[in-house]
Structure formats: C-alpha cells, structure tokens
C-alpha cells in the first residue's frame, strides 16, 4: 500500500523506524480523532536559539520551498505570520515573492520535461 502524508509545521504524528529497516511507523504526537488529517513535518520545525518565531517561520518556509517545492500554509505558519502592520506586511510580501516564483519555475520545468509536479495537494491522509 502506498500513500503520502501531508506536511505540517505542527504535526499530529512523527515517523519512527523501530525495526532498523525501511518500515515506517507513525507515532501520534497528540490525540487524533477519526476523520482528522494525519500530518508529519518534512523538516526541522524547532525554533533555534538565535531565532525569533518569525525568523524560524521564514527558515522553515524557505527550506520547504527549496526542498519540497511548496509554500507552506499550515495552521502554524499562518498563526506565526508577522503582524499585518505596514512594514511587516511588506516583508511578508517579499517572502512570498521569493517562494512562489521558485515553486512555479520548478513546476514549469517539470511540466516541460513531461513530469508531473509534486504539490501539497498530493499529500493528504486521513484516519478512518
């Protein structure tokens, strides 16, 4: 059985490879109810000592855009977005202008080569 698991910067599960092989088990990090989406983090989501929350968010989103080719819009990234004062909003717009064109360019290159681009929409798993 093959399926994909969605990313979140505040995941509901973490991967575990207890058997020493490639068999992955998911361990819940909080209560998951029937119908809830199961998510894992594709990257390190911790806030480092030299970062504030906004800088950590920027680092996470940049890493996801480069390595996973999508702009993260998970609940945590939305919640940790800078305040919408004029100066901060301009920084947010700059951030998006760097992420979205990279994702778009990679998708266009993949389409030109006949490959199907990977999108966040392809990564949904729910508990039955």
DSSP 81-110: SPP-SHHHHHHHHHHHHHHHHHHHHHHHHH
End-to-end CA distance of the chain: 15
Pairing of strands 13-16, 25-28: antiparallel
User: What are the extents of the domains in the chain?
Assistant: 6-122
Overall residue count recorded for the chain in this entry: 128
pLDDT in tens, 22-73: 888 899 999 999 999 999 999 999 999 999 998 999 999 999 998 888 889 9
pTM above 0.75, yes or no: no
Task: Tell me the fold of 6-122.
Answer: Beta-clip-like (2.170.270)
């Amino acid at each position: 059985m093959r399926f994909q698991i969605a990313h979140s910067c505040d995941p509901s599960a973490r991967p575990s490879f207890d058997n020493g092989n490639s068999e992955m088990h998911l361990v819940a990090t909080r209560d998951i109810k029937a119908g809830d989406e199961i998510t894992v983090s594709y990257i390190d989501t911790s806030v480092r000592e030299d970062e504030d929350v906004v800088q950590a968010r920027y680092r996470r989103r940049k890493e996801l855009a480069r390595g996973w080719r999508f702009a993260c819009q998970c609940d945590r990234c939305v919640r940790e977005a800078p305040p919408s004062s004029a100066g901060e909003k301009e920084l947010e717009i700059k951030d998006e202008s760097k992420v979205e064109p990279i994702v778009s360019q990679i998708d266009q290159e993949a389409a030109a080569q006949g490959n199907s681009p990977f999108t966040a929409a392809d990564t949904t798993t729910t508990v039955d």
